[in-house]
Chains A and B, each alone.
Chain A
Amino acid sequence: DSGVTQTPKHLITATGQRVTLRCSPRSGDLSVYWYQQSLDQGLQFLIQYYNGEERAKGNILERFSAQQFPDLHSELNLSSLELGDSALYFCASTRDGRGTEAFFGQGTRLTVV
């Protein structure tokens, strides 16, 4: 158990819809990262938050947004969903904002039909 909790584990939704993925980091970790893993691909960095503020942005679509709340949990919002958004979405956390040795959650498998 990495200590990072992601909910839900599975999500099936229709094209055009909006979903919210939730992540609770390890206790004491200030930084949260979101990654997307599509079929047979590596993990693609989406966005990082550190202590409530956006720290770095990767290849995140404009239809996607995220935030980190005062209790340090984070949400990734995906809207106007397309079939190609089907993927595993992972959240990871670190204590100091450095991406090294990040601890990952189990992921949310999103299927867009």
Chain B
Amino acid sequence: DQQVKQNSPSLSVQEGRISILNCDYTNSMFDYFLWYKKYPAEGPTFLISISSIKDKNEDGRFTVFLNKSAKHLSLHIVPSQPGDSAVYFCAASLPQHFGNEKLTFGTGTRLTIIP
């Protein structure tokens, strides 16, 4: 049962344009969402997060949008740069009182920025 889904395995975007990566989830109890970036031969690195009490969080070129009613979040990268080429994972976690503190990950989207 894939509770966090990234339906686009890959995405190619021209340098300087906007990259939009999408993520859907099925468990309405998730209250915290994160994006991780992964380069080959490295572990995932934290990029940006958003709490379910917000609908937008911005950090420099990266903005995450959360639509709770649609159980959908997206990551916008503007402007896209060649160094953004990586695999992006969406992840979600349950509230602390559930006693289950793991991150549930999507399958990832490979973003390629074309110079």
Contacts and interface: CB of A to CB of B under 8 A. Distances in A.
B102 A58 contact: yes
A43 B44 contact: yes
Given A42-B106, A45-B102, A55-B101, A105 B93 contact: no
Interface of B: 2, 4, 6, 9, 32, 34, 36, 41-46, 49, 89, 91, 93, 96, 99-108
Given A31-B101, A35-B105, A98-B93, 8 more contacts: A43-B44, A44-B105, A45-B102, A45-B103, A56-B99, A92-B43, A101-B49, A104-B43
A4 B102 contact: no
A4 B43 contact: yes
A105 B43 contact: yes
A33 B43 contact: no
28 contacts: A31-B101, A40-B9, A40-B107, A42-B4, A42-B6, A42-B106, A43-B89, A45-B102, A45-B103, A48-B101, A48-B102, A56-B100, A56-B101, A94-B101, A98-B96, A98-B101, A99-B93, A100-B32, A100-B49, A100-B93, A101-B34, A101-B49, A102-B46, A102-B103, A104-B36, A104-B43, A105-B43, A107-B42
Given A42-B89, A42-B108, A98-B96, A107 B43 contact: yes
